[in-house]
Each structure stands twice: as C-alpha cells, then as structure tokens.
Structure 1
Amino acid sequence: MTMDTLRRRSLLGAALGAASAPLWAADDPTGGDPLGSMQWPGLRKQYLGDAPMRFSTAVLVKGPAFADDAMNVPLLVDARGLSGVGGGVARIQVVVDRNPVREVLEFEPLKALPMLAFRIRMEQASPVRALVQTRDGAWHVGSSWVQAAGGGCTVPGATRADGSWSRTLNQVQARFFNNVLEGSRRLRVRVMHPMDTGLVAGIPAFYIEQLQLVDGAGAPWWRLALHEPVSENPLITFELPPQNGGGFRLTGRDNNGNRIDAEVSA
C-alpha cells in the first residue's frame, strides 16, 4: 500500500468521523435531556429560545418519589448553588413537561434567596423543571422525575366543590421563622384561592397571577407570577436574609382583578 493511499484513507476516515458526531446529536429526539423526555426539545424552544443553557446539578428540584395526591404535589427548588455564577440568579421558572398547562410559576428573588417550596397539580407522571437564568443571560436547568397518580389538573378543588372558596377568597396567612441551620429567616405564606385550572367542565380558569413582598419603603424583596397548576390555597415558603428590617406587605391580584393586600409582621 502506497503512502498516497494511506493518506487518502486517513483523510476519508477523519471526514467521516467529523460528520458522524453532529449527525448523532441532531438525531437525538430528547435534545440531550438526562431524563429522556420527548417533550424537552419543544419546551426548550418555547421557553429558552436560542439562549445558552446547560443541565446543571447546581439547580436542585426535589419532589416525592410518588405523589399520592396529584392535586397537592410538594416541590422544593433550590438554586443557591448558582449564587456566585454569572452575577447571581435573576429568575427561576418552573414548568412540567407533561401537564396540559406547563407553566407553574416564575420567581424573581431580588433580595430573597433563590429558593422556594410550594405545591402543584400534576395530570400525570412527568419531569419537573426549574429553568434558572443568571444575570449574564445564561440558563441553568435542574430536573426531577415525579410519579403521580394523575388527574390533578382536571378535577375541582375541595373549596370549589363545597362552595366555601367565596367566603375566604384572597385571605392571607403569613409567618416568619428563624432558620437556625441555614442562617436565614423563613417566610411561609398562604393565600386562600381556588386556583381553578379552567380544565373542569363549567369552571373557567381562576387563579392568582401576581404576588410580591414589599418593605416599609415600598421596595420589593421578591416577585412571583403564578399559573393554573399551583395548588388550591397556595402555601409557599421563601428564604430571606437574617436581617429583614421592619414590616412588610404582601400585595398581588388574581386573573379576575381581585386584589391581595395584607400586612406581614417581621
């Protein structure tokens, strides 16, 4: 075999090898998703577009291995691992791949820590995602697979079924706790609301759209946009720095324009 023949074969092998890698990546129907979800490529395009992103273990999404009550699935999202990355966390968006309404909530920590706990409705077993954008514009995605009994988005809540929601609508309960282990202050907020998904016959979508915590000077400490899959009577836990200053107000509204306004004592 001549040197020219060896050279031609070497160049051909290199060309075929270079072509095979991007072809394999393009043929991956899950877009490299570690959970193997067929919905992920469309979900990424819808929410992230062409922005740079990576799957990151610094973004923790914790839920039950199996959710017995699909209308109240507890979740914890913790992005504190990104506090020193890209200028810090700008916002956290939570989505569920296989829910009929994918958007759950969007959280801007502002002066709060980039973590929160809450409950959601799930229609079926699905990956749950936390899409975390740092201030440099990059996205960091944490994911968890949650098994669920199903049907959580398409049945009425308890207060809708018994009619009691109208007597307690937008009432607020809030309390601070000292978190000794974490060195922070924990704020737990409950707002009474049926959070109707609009997927039950004869019951239109009716849910809290916006919440924010403001201090005595009117400066916001966090902002939260909610969507239909958040559970009835939302119970949400936040972490704030240990020194919170004076009193706060919780303000917001639902999608029918009903206002939420309550004092939160520090």
Structure 2
Amino acid sequence: MEDIFASTVTPPGYSDVEWKARVDLALCYRMVDYYGWTTQVYNHISYKIPGTEHLLINAFGLLYSEIKPSNLVKIDFDGNKVDNSSYPINKAGNVIHTALHKGRPDIHCVMHTHNIDVQAVSSLKCGFMPLFQEAFMFYDRIGYHDFEGIVLDTSEQKRLVASIGPTNHTLMLKNHGVITTGPDVASAFMRMYQMIQGCAVQLKTMASGGELNEISEEAMALTREQFEGGDAQAGAQVRLPEWPAYYRLMNRLDPNWDK
C-alpha cells in the first residue's frame, strides 16, 4: 500500500503522529486553494491529532496557498492555543469546529467552505437534492442548521451539534455554507468535493426546467452504502486513491509546501 508521507521527515519538536497530521491537513488546505474553493483568508478545516485532545486549524490571516504543516495552529477543545504560534485564530472557526469535535467524538476532521454553488443551494428551501451517483452518498446523511448570524456565540454550539445529529456527516448551514466531516482528512475532503459537484449539478438541472428522473430511495440508500463500505474504490491500493495522487500533485506544484 502506498505511503503518501514517504517523502516527509519529522522535524525536531514534533512527534511523527503530529507531523503526519500536519502534513495531511496542510495538503487539504492546498487542494482547497487548487480547486478555487477559498474565500480570501476565511473558512476553516480542523483535524484532531490522533491519540490526543488537540486540534490543528489554520492561522487567521493566511491564504490557503500559504499554509504549511509548520504554520498550522494547535488548540484544545475549548479553542485555547497550546503551542507557541504567533498567529491568531478565527473566533467563528473556533466556535464551529470545537463544537463538532466535542459533540461528535467520531468526527476527526471538520471542513467548512463558502463555495458559491453551495451557498446558492444553502439559500433554497428545498435544500440539497441528490441527483446523480456520487451525490447519493449524501442521501439521509445531511443535517440543516438555521442561520443565526456570524457564529461567534458559544451558545450556538449545542444547536450546531443537534443540527448535524448523531449519524450525519454533512451539515448545511442555511444561507451560509456547508460543513463536511470525516474520520480523517481525506474523507472530509472527498465529501466536500462531491458536495460542491452535487450543488453545481443541482443548480444547472433546476435552471434547465427539465423533468427529473425518479430514483428510488432503495437505490439511493444502496449507492450510499456502497460508498460508505468502500465498494466504489474496489481495486485501488488505498481507500481513497485520489489522496496520494493529490500529494504527488502538490509535490510537483510546490516542492517546499510540506515544510
């Protein structure tokens, strides 16, 4: 099985586990930038360092194209910095991410974007409509959260956790954006990629005015289970083969990105 971290060397001051977590998360930020999903220096992706109660999150004020493993900020579940980083963190990101990490211990990565197609769908009463194969991974796996203003009040944390529920991996923030989660960075990223694709297809389909094909709930549930069980990647060396491919891509684009 391919080790996507084969070329990484853990620098002094970090455990191998933490450094690999930092490289993984930095790659996610870089790929968000690569696909053009960024909103200037805003939005956030957080990752729980395996075996710890600490999270990694982006430094507030850096473009995603500037993020490296070494400038990610380490915080605890209450949003307090636990390293000597000179960078601040975004309070709204702190409130959203720590809420979900604390409220759902099965979630290790939380990813939030304001992609314009996602924001358009988040403003529709009908919500997200799964219309094609990859979008069916979201069938009965999306929660919805009403807009309350910029998420700065910690009292909203309980409502965020209630909105995503105990089994959903995606949370549509109405009139705001979307959150995807996963047990690891690659899963959260893959879900975000497919959510953005799904929203774009939905908007184009609605604009066409054409009649929609009817897909049975049984077929959508089966397809979701195939994705969740790994059947969609059958034959690949790793569960999500796009992730090591992205690592190789980023090494070609910027040989110094993972420092």
Q: TM-score, normalised by structure 1?
A: 0.27
Q: Which has the higher helix share?
A: 2
Q: Which has the higher strand share?
A: 1
Higher relative contact order, chain-length normalized (CA < 8 Å, sep 6+) = 2
Q: TM-score, normalised by structure 2?
A: 0.27
